[in-house]
Structure 1
Amino acid sequence: MTYRMHHLVGSDTDNDSVFMNETVRDYCRHQEIAFTRSRPYRKNDQAFVEQKNGAIVRHVVGYRRFERIPAAAALSRLYASLHLFVIFVQPSFKLAGKERQGALVRKRCHPPATPCQSLLDDLRVPAEVKAQLKEMLVTLDPVRLLQQIRDGQARLVELADEPVTPVSSSDPAILDPFQQGLRTAWNARWSSPNRPPQTAGSVRPATSGSLGSGDSTPAGLVQG
């Protein structure tokens, strides 16, 4: 939140304990941010926010399991480059409206634009914020950002494949450099982790009742 280009008015989260805790509450109070939560047992309240987990985070990071401080540091570096790439480089469509014609629904979208361009075109954004965005935009190299994302993905694959060794989480020699680097990691200048490596033992064998004991061809299945 330290590098956002707009004033954050409020934060509306789901009921996960990751958000519903004193740390987040106290931070919002200190920053004068309205902190609200979604309705209980109404999972679709956060649909527009949660879909970004699949469209951006899961698409890049995948579903591998990452543990320990080195993985957290690698994710932090990857997100720093991904954050800049999504905001300044990657255009996206924004829905303008829907029209229903019988059973057919036609969607109309605005011309594709990056979030940065949308902010620059918005008359409500202050001039000083637009100046900051333009300064950052001219310093970015899309090819380098993409390469950093690819390198970060490759590093995550390496960490996910490494055997887990017991490490003391309270070791200051490991924690201190990582915590100090979190504030500035975003300002530093995809081998895909989406699928885990498949081994012979991970292939699920067919059961004897899957196709029956008779002919396993399509014709045999239909006739049986």
Structure 2
Amino acid sequence: MAAKTWASATRDGGQSITTTSVWSVVRRLIGYECFETDPEYLLLQSIYEDLRLYFNFFQPVLKLIAKEHMDKKVIKRYDGRAIGDHDTAAPPYQQVMAFKDVPFETKARLTNLYVQLNPAHLRTTIDAKVAKLWKISW
């Protein structure tokens, strides 16, 4: 869940910021508007929860393992392969399910959640909440 924190003393303004592990995902969707009221904050948290489900279960990603600098070229390696080497992106959910060391109970809980989700419905809900956020912020 997103946590409401205050900017550090070295930052100007002391504005409220929300820290999450998917900050860039939220900012790409919402933008860099400063939301200060409690209703805005609660709606932003709700959007974050839906985004977490949407991205963790349905959006494929490649995990960056390493960057190699060769002369002036940077080669990025994802899951042990150079980009372009027929990489297969998968949602984090599928990556966890493929990992053998994850306990059966965890996999069962995630699978139960997965079968209850609908990506189209999640996306529609996210878009509606973003529209509502912009409406109450102006």
**In the alignment, which of 105, 116, 134 is matched to residue 128 of structure 1?**
105
Mapped partners of 2:97, 2:7: distance in 1: 31
1:183 aligns with: none
1:149 aligns with: 126
- When Rg is computed on C-alpha atoms for both structures, the one with the higher figure is 1
- Per the TM alignment, residue 99 of structure 1 is displaced from its structure 2 partner at its CA by 3.7
Are the structure 2 counterparts of residues 99 and 65 from structure 1 closer, same or farther at C-alpha, using a change threshold of 3 Å? closer
Letter of the aligned partner of 2:40 in structure 1?
A
1:119 aligns with: 96
Would you tell me which structure has more strand in proportion to its own residues?
A: 2
**In the alignment, which of 4, 17, 29 is matched to residue 60 of structure 1?**
29
Letter of the aligned partner of 1:158 in structure 2?
K
Mapped partners of 2:128, 2:44: distance in 1: 11
Q: Flag structure 2 segments of 5+ consecutive residues without an equivalent.
A: 9-18, 80-87
Whether 1:86 and 2:55 are equivalent positions in the alignment is: yes
Matches within 5 A, 1:3-14: none
SS in 2 for 1:79: helix
Mapped partners of 2:7, 2:111: distance in 1: 33
1:180 aligns with: none
1:67-123 CA-to-partner distances (Å, cap 9, x unmatched) read 322212211221121111011111111123334432222222232111111211122
1:206 aligns with: none
2:40 aligns with: 71
Mapped partners of 1:78, 1:52: distance in 2: 12
- Per the TM alignment, residue 60 of structure 1 is displaced from its structure 2 partner at its CA by 1.5
Whether 1:106 and 2:75 are equivalent positions in the alignment is: yes
Mapped partners of 2:128, 2:112: distance in 1: 26
SS in 2 for 1:138: helix
Mapped partners of 1:102, 1:141: distance in 2: 46
Higher relative contact order (CA 8 A, sep 6+): 1
- Per the TM alignment, residue 147 of structure 1 is displaced from its structure 2 partner at its CA by 0.5
Kept in 2, the 8 Å contact 1:65–1:160? The answer is no
Aligned length, in residue pairs = 117
Give the TM-score, by structure 2 length: 0.72
Letter of the aligned partner of 2:136 in structure 1?
L
Mapped partners of 1:129, 1:19: distance in 2: 35
Are the structure 2 counterparts of residues 101 and 65 from structure 1 closer, same or farther at C-alpha, using a change threshold of 3 Å? closer
Letter of the aligned partner of 1:106 in structure 2?
I
Give the TM-score, by structure 1 length: 0.46
SS in 2 for 1:105: strand
Q: Flag structure 1 segments of 5+ consecutive residues without an equivalent.
A: 2-16, 21-48, 162-224
1:34-55 CA-to-partner distances (Å, cap 9, x unmatched) read xxxxxxxxxxxxxxx98842x2
Mapped partners of 1:74, 1:124: distance in 2: 36
